[in-house]
Chains A and B, each alone.
Chain A
Amino acid sequence: MTSATQLWRRVDRNVKILVVVAIGLALLPLWLQGASLEIGIRILLFAMLATAWNLMAGYAGLFSFGHAAYFGIGAYATAVLQVDYGWSPWLGMLVGMVLAGLFAVGTGYLSFRYRLKGAYFVLTTFAFAEMLRLIFLHWDFVNEAIGFRVPLNRDASWTDMQFPPDSPAYYYVVLGMLLAVLLVVISLMRSRSGYYIIAVRDNEDAAAALGVNPMRYKLYAVGLSGAMTAMGGTFYFQYIFFIDPSLAFGPGVSIQILLPAIIGGMGTMWGPLIGAFLLVPLGEWTSGLVRNPPDVLSFLDGRAGLDLMIFGAVLVAIIMFLPKGVYGSVTHAVAVRQQRRRRDPVASVSGTSDE
């Protein structure tokens, strides 16, 4: 008993939170059915994708506007192998992760090699995703604009990643993926490589002067982020039974992946998860508001697009008032308060502070 509690005490704080989160999320389907279970699944899917994105954009400081590329590669690798070759989607998922990781490392290498920074880097990530969308749109090997459908299987089981509609199994598959991604990011950021990734983000020259190869650790973050994003692509294809070039590679996919992380807090461990828990229900609520408005808002009835405007306005408000994101702002406020309490009333390191 005592050794177990001792072990628990040594565990990283984020791992402890993860255990609690895992238990909480695993129990949730007891109360969720039908439409609300679907919302739960979408929350977890986008939490997972945003957590993967956050590794590259938040921790490594490499803002990506093209994560659809990795997502789409995951979806299509699964689709081609499953539909044309009869492979299990789990194997397709692994192949997709490897391919997306390689694509991320390859395109990342080109961008870093030619020292693309800031807006230019962002545009490059966007361009690579669009490039894939256009290639897939005109490539007969992947059925051009038609895309793929998951072959329906009456005796489907876990090996097929296919379940009866309304089965909570989909929820548990995506929960498993989310927990795996969180565990990978937590362990990485606690390790030596995690410190190097942040050091390179904060100051590349200083990191290199301490023996850290900036290229290697940028590619590490980018490759891992790409591979984990591909996992989401696999799940998406299995869950909605359908994929085409714009569902896989469209700019909307990239935006949906990055929004939860930005709203929750970039470069924080739990920001993307919290962001997904806010954004997905918010989207549901605004579209429901337009579809079945209460009496006071009856003028909203049937005005398509209005829901997106409300959604956008809420986003703008969050970004204006909480620029570090919801979770990021909270942790920042706590850190500032602790800092103040700790700060000695006695002089600082020096009297001079010319900066």
Chain B
Amino acid sequence: MSGRVGLALLKAEIGKVWARPILEITVALMAVMATFLVQPITKIVSHSNFSVLIQSIMAENVSSVVSSLMLPLVVMCAVLMSLSFAKDYESGLMQSILSAPVSRKMLFTVKFFAVVLPLALLTWIFTTFFVGLTFYSSPWLVLQLSLFALPVAFLFLMFCGSIGALVALVVKRTIPAVLTAFLVNFALWFPTTIITEVAFKEGAFYANYLCLTPYNGALVFLDKSLGIVPKISSEFADALEISLSAVDFGALLIVYVSILMVPLFVYFWRRFEICE
């Protein structure tokens, strides 16, 4: 019964969140970003004698596409999640839904999945499509490698979404919540643009910790899962990015998500008051 109710609610939420033109904007944004990462065919030809190298280039391509999609994902996730919570609170829809026999736990979960699931799926589809554009002759391998993007995207979208939801539940006003969630996520995403190798070379004190930021950590987790060797020279062999394993980075991401999600979930379930 509750599963059926949850699915019906999820369908309605997805329809609301992804109503025109949100889906179109997201797809366009992701397409623009991913297009830049299509590998030039000459690069493939030059290595075509080595199937192992092809696989590693393909893995790097998967990593590059996911990395290029990060900005649109961060922006859309923060905006849509805060919009979903704050707008529903402000418009009275949350009040209306919670006046029916719907549990708060279910509404919270549905709202999260309505934003995170389509974005994670879009990430996987885009990765498959854009890596497949170059490596169309090995569709199964493309599919296999691009699948790694799914859990990584899911985890870091949960993190971005948690920030969006947290801001929305505190601010409770649509426009300020959307702007704040966007700015906070953007500020947290920004360190991913710093190249670790350069930071090390310049002796920056934070260089060793860049890989521990939620967004960089997600990319390192993906790279390590795909077997990509970190782009840090051997002189920094004890750097965390090299010494920690894929499992460590996966666990770190789960910890980041849990730190935000669990208290937020409990707060919404037990204490949040709807008094708009």
Q: Do A and B come from one complex?
A: no
Q: List B residues at the A interface (Cβ < 8 Å).
A: none
